[in-house]
Amino acid sequence: MRRLAPLLLAAPPALAGALAGCTLPGPRAAAPASSAVVPPPAWRTALPAGGPVRVDWWRAFGDPALIALIERALAGNVDLQIAAARVEEARAAEALARAQLLPQVGGTVPETQGQTLSPFGTPSRAVGAQPGVTASYDLDLFGRLRLAGAAARAQLLASEGARDTVRLATAASVATGYITLRALDQRLAIARATLAARADAQRIARRRFESGYSSRLEYRQAQAEYSATAQLVPAAQLAISRLENALSQLTGDAPGTIPRGLPLDRLLAPPVPDGLPADLLRRRPDLFQAEQTLVAADWSLDSQRAAMLPNLALTGSAGLVLSTALSDPVGVFSLGASILAPIFDGGRLRAQERAATARRDQAAFAYRRAALQAFREVDDALAAVRRTGEQAAALADQTAAARGALQNASNRYRAGYSAYIEQLDAQRSLLNAELSLVQARTDGLASLVALYQAMGGGWSEADVRTVAR
């Protein structure tokens, strides 16, 4: 048995170690050479392979409504049901491939009729039947059928990996959508609070204009700012409605309202340990799917090569001859063997072998691409978690400062020490800072979801303890 790393030629140490338990049969033609997959040097590979996968990673956010929503999606998502049906189809194909290894037995009861003449010339009718049993068995001397069965088994595992990929993507999409929904709710609350403050500012500007303490310009500015804030409310409501409909579709339900739980600023942000082990990538179902697809292509190539060799099949039959013309039944049987070998087929088998080799090479490159994509997604998610946290901290300080500046500008404007433009600028700065802070928090939580997805379901406490050591 041959390990997967030599097939992929210059596989990286982290990837080769992570896939050390995956084996392929027999010597193969080498896949085309390509550049090596090099993981980031900061990643560790200390953990043993085969750790448990966290299938309920979304509970780490601590929101019962989010947990219930994801469980509804995993039970009713249409794409997940289609993927499950494809697994059943692959399971049936594997059973069909296994059945080819067993003898084929059948029974027949043909009825025959005929006429005979008696010695005195009086015609008589004889009715007879010949029930029997037939059997055939392919000895599969060179493993053609066994290799085809192994390929079907690998395809079944690949379809299960595809199903798990859809499951993980569904949970991640629902989690990201729910976080975005809570962010839109908070944006709507900010817009309404700001609109109420702008309404007060508009009333004050109107009284000052009517009393002659300010110009019409300040009053018009207050009106324009109130209208600019008012348009934020229906825009947020429209985005909420569309997102609720999208989440309903993910859960397999008709469009409707999505239950809410914790507000955005109360959702937990689980800590991310430094130096997550690269072995966690082995838990990614899409990587497992690509690996099993490669295994299936390799078995299929062997099966196609075995089809070029002679094949030995045994056939036999046994039965009785029953007839009104016979006093006793007559037993009959036959046993035979056949050897079939291709002599001239116009290059058909050779062309099929080349096509199987090309499919194997495609699967090898697809596996390498999946590994590269896995490394990139993890690195992007880790960078996003770190940078969005820094951005959110800076925006929180900016929001606090803008809120204080607005208080000072409002007091100065009401006391007549400054023009309305100062208060207007402070209001705009506070609104932009609050909306940016909501977006940064949303991006941070969404990057955590992306990290869980990139890690194939996150990490366990044992993983964190191992990294800490």
Q: What is the pLDDT of residue 258?
A: 94
Do residues 80 and 124 both lie within one domain? Answer: no
Rounded Cα gap, residues 78 and 68, in angstroms: 17
Rounded Cα gap, residues 133 and 302, in angstroms: 34
Q: What is the pLDDT of residue 54?
A: 52
Q: What is the pLDDT of residue 218?
A: 84
Do residues 229 and 368 both lie within one domain? Answer: yes
Do residues 59 and 201 both lie within one domain? Answer: yes
Least confident of 44-48, 317-321, 462-466: 44-48
Do residues 331 and 211 both lie within one domain? Answer: no
CATH (domain of 123):
2.20.200.10
Span 376-382, mean pLDDT? 90
Q: What is the pLDDT of residue 328?
A: 66
Total domain count for the chain? 2
Do residues 329 and 300 both lie within one domain? Answer: no
Tell me the per-residue pLDDT of 409-436, one tens digit each, with 9 for 90 and over.
888 888 878 888 888 889 899 999 999 9
**Size of the chain in residues:** 469
pLDDT reading at 15 higher than 50: no
CATH (domain of 385):
1.20.1600.10
Residues with Cβ within 8 Å of 172's Cβ and at least 6 positions away in sequence, in order, are 449, 450, 452, 453
Tell me the per-residue pLDDT of 191-209, one tens digit each, with 9 for 90 and over.
999 999 889 888 888 888 8
Structure confidence at residue 246 as a pLDDT band (50, 70, 90): very high
Do residues 273 and 359 both lie within one domain? Answer: yes
Do residues 21 and 37 both lie within one domain? Answer: yes
Q: With the C-alpha atoms ordered 233, 238, 242, 244, is the resulting torsion angle positive or negative?
A: positive
Q: Over 111-141, what HEC string results?
A: EEEEEEECCCCCEEEEEEECCEEEEEEECCC
Structure confidence at residue 179 as a pLDDT band (50, 70, 90): very high
Q: What's the CA angle centered on 465, arms 50 and 382, to 5 degrees?
A: 80
- Report the relative pairing of strands 104-108 and 311-323 from DSSP bridges: unpaired
Which amino acid makes up residue 182?
R
Q: What is the pLDDT of residue 123?
A: 58
Do residues 321 and 261 both lie within one domain? Answer: no
Give me the percent of the chain exceeding a pLDDT of 90. 44
Residues with Cβ within 8 Å of 384's Cβ and at least 6 positions away in sequence, in order, are 443, 444, 447, 450, 451
* 268 and 61 Cβ atoms separated by less than 8 Å: yes
Do residues 144 and 133 both lie within one domain? Answer: no
Helix (H) or strand (E) holding 107: strand 104-108
Rounded Cα gap, residues 308 and 301, in angstroms: 12
Domain housing 323 = 103-139+312-341
Q: Which of 321, 341, 361 is the last residue of a domain?
A: 341
Tell me the per-residue pLDDT of 58-108, one tens digit each, with 9 for 90 and over.
988 999 999 999 999 999 999 999 999 999 999 999 998 888 888 888 777
* 255 and 446 Cβ atoms separated by less than 8 Å: no
Q: What is the pLDDT of residue 135?
A: 78
Decide which of 457 and 240 is more confident.
240
* 172 and 454 Cβ atoms separated by less than 8 Å: no
The pLDDT mean for the chain works out to: 80
Decide which of 340 and 89 is more confident.
89
Rounding to the nearest 10 degrees, give the CA dihedral for residues 460, 461, 465, 468: 80
Do residues 37 and 112 both lie within one domain? Answer: no
Do residues 301 and 410 both lie within one domain? Answer: yes
Decide which of 112 and 232 is more confident.
232
Do residues 360 and 234 both lie within one domain? Answer: yes
Give me the percent of the chain exceeding a pLDDT of 70. 77
Rounded Cα gap, residues 280 and 233, in angstroms: 43
pLDDT reading at 115 higher than 60: no
